[in-house]
Amino acid sequence: MTRAGHSSMEYNNPNETLPSMNPATQRKIAFRTFFPLFMFPKQPQNTTKTPFCQDVYLIKNMQNENNVKKSEHPSLLAKEIIPIAQQAGEILRHFFKKDFSLELKNNDTFDPVTSADKQSDALMRKLLHEKFPDDLILSEENENIPTDYTKRIWMVDPLDGTKDFIKGKDGFAIHIGLFSNNEILFGLVYAPIQNKLFWAEKGKGAYMQQEDDFQKIQVSPITSLLESRVITRSPGSDARALDEVVLQLKCREYIHDSALKVPKIACGQAEAHINTNFRASKWDTLAPQIILEEAGGIMTDLDGNLLDYTQKELRWERSYIATSNKEIHNEVLQAIKKHLP
């Protein structure tokens, strides 16, 4: 979920009372499941399958890293942040099967917000502030925006994929990322209904959670766009010019997804994704980006430039591309240049 129209002001204490909401729309949410699995035609060398996600491939000969018990957690930071995401996930689970209030931010039909967004946001900011009182927090649902990006700053999206949440689909997730000194240090993406959690810490690799174990993941070995699976957005009513460019790519298969587009590339389920709505903001990309990069992938804007998280603007003017390797990334960039100014 993305947002524009934030005002620039210093971060304040996250314990403030949430603003009251007008219950403009009450909806009964019906649970649906749609998360198709896509298989490699041939298992790549030096990899092994895992039952957690049938087509995820894990690096062999890394027993100390791939099957890590909680008592031997590979990241103390992840060990602290995962419970925060899970608690926020319980809030989303609660509202997912019950009534919730719905508003439109800035009267924008493409930018809805629910009571689930707001309560998840309040909880995460409170818990992060308690653990890291000196850190700043940039959250989609909080209008108090940090202005100093040289400090440690958490970038949070309490409900990425609000439209799917409203429709009763499970394609939504929680994002928590840490940025400091012009580097992404940590990122976590958690889809509570699908019960899928991915995280990465700089220099320590990318992981997915399987019950009590954490397994290291990697991108697929495919290097040709023709053989690649391209992740597209879930079908929507809003027409986008870039969608036509995506559908003209010469690839093996298109996959529809919402919440886990980039993590699916990181764990080898796909090779490319082009964000087509030009509404993505820092909190949409920070956590997924480090997960992808630590798994061996690449994320840039549509022109091939690195995303600059120190810029004043919150939204990415030239959107973003995520791929599994530089060969496919270059092919996608060339295809875009042929069709877009």
For the stretch 138-161, pLDDT in tens is 998 787 888 888 899 999 999 987
Separation of alpha carbons 68 and 216, rounded Å: 9
Whether residue 83 is contained in a domain is answered as yes
Sign of CA dihedral 311, 275, 119, 264: negative
Separation of alpha carbons 188 and 242, rounded Å: 28
In the chain the first and final C-alpha atoms are separated, in Å, by 26
Q: Which of 164, 187, 217 is the last residue of a domain?
A: 217
Note the pLDDT of residue 224.
96
> 223 burial class (0-12, 13-18, 19+ CB within 10 angstroms)?
middle
Separation of alpha carbons 313 and 311, rounded Å: 6
Whether residue 48 is contained in a domain is answered as no
Whether the predicted pLDDT of 89 surpasses 70? yes
Q: Name which of 121-130, 173-182, 236-245 the model is least confident about.
A: 236-245
Separation of alpha carbons 327 and 251, rounded Å: 14
**Residue-averaged pLDDT of the chain:** 79
Whether residue 103 is contained in a domain is answered as yes
Distance between alpha carbon 46 and the CA centroid of its chain, in Å? 27
Residues 153 and 275 in one domain: no
Structural domain total, the chain: 2
Provide the CATH number for the domain around residue 262.
3.40.190.80
Q: Which of 190, 217, 244 is the last residue of a domain?
A: 217
Share of the chain above pLDDT 70, in %: 71
Residues 180 and 245 in one domain: no
Residues 148 and 89 in one domain: yes
- Judge whether 194 and 298 are in contact, CB under 8 Å: no
Residues 84 and 211 in one domain: yes
Whether residue 290 is contained in a domain is answered as yes
Residues 92 and 204 in one domain: yes
Residues 122 and 72 in one domain: yes
How much is the average pLDDT of 310-331?
96
Per the DSSP assignment, residues forming a β-bridge with 57 are: 49
- 260-277 pLDDT per residue, tens: 999 999 999 999 999 988
Q: How many Cα atoms within 13 Å fall on the side-chain side of residue 59? A: 18
Q: What are phi and psi of 82, to 5 degrees?
A: -55, -45
**191 vs 116, which has greater pLDDT?**
191
Residues 302 and 180 in one domain: no
Residues 196 and 92 in one domain: yes
- Of 260, 205, 222, 247, which is closest to residue 59 (Cα–Cα)? 205
| Structure token pair of residue 97 | 């099967």
Q: What are phi and psi of 128, to 5 degrees?
A: -65, -40
Separation of alpha carbons 178 and 155, rounded Å: 6
Note the pLDDT of residue 174.
96
- 23-71 pLDDT per residue, tens: 333 333 332 332 233 233 344 444 444 444 545 555 443 333 444 444 4
Whether the predicted pLDDT of 254 surpasses 70? yes
Whether residue 326 is contained in a domain is answered as yes
Q: Name which of 144-148, 234-238, 258-262, 276-280 the model is least confident about.
A: 234-238
330: CB partners within 8 A, 6+ apart: none
- Judge whether 31 and 96 are in contact, CB under 8 Å: yes
DSSP assignment of 135-154 equals: SEEEETT---B---TTS-EE
Sign of CA dihedral 258, 263, 267, 270: positive
How much is the average pLDDT of 220-236?
89
**284 annotated as a binding-site residue:** yes
Residues 210 and 228 in one domain: no
Note the pLDDT of residue 120.
94
Residues 184 and 156 in one domain: yes
Whether residue 45 is contained in a domain is answered as no
Whether residue 25 is contained in a domain is answered as no
Note the pLDDT of residue 105.
60
Q: Which of 217, 246, 278 is the last residue of a domain?
A: 217
In terms of residue numbers, what domain contains 232?
Answer: 220-339
Provide the CATH number for the domain around residue 121.
3.30.540.10
Whether the predicted pLDDT of 221 surpasses 60? yes
Residues 207 and 276 in one domain: no
Place of tokens 């995506």: 246
Residues 138 and 155 in one domain: yes
**160 annotated as a binding-site residue:** yes
Whether residue 7 is contained in a domain is answered as no
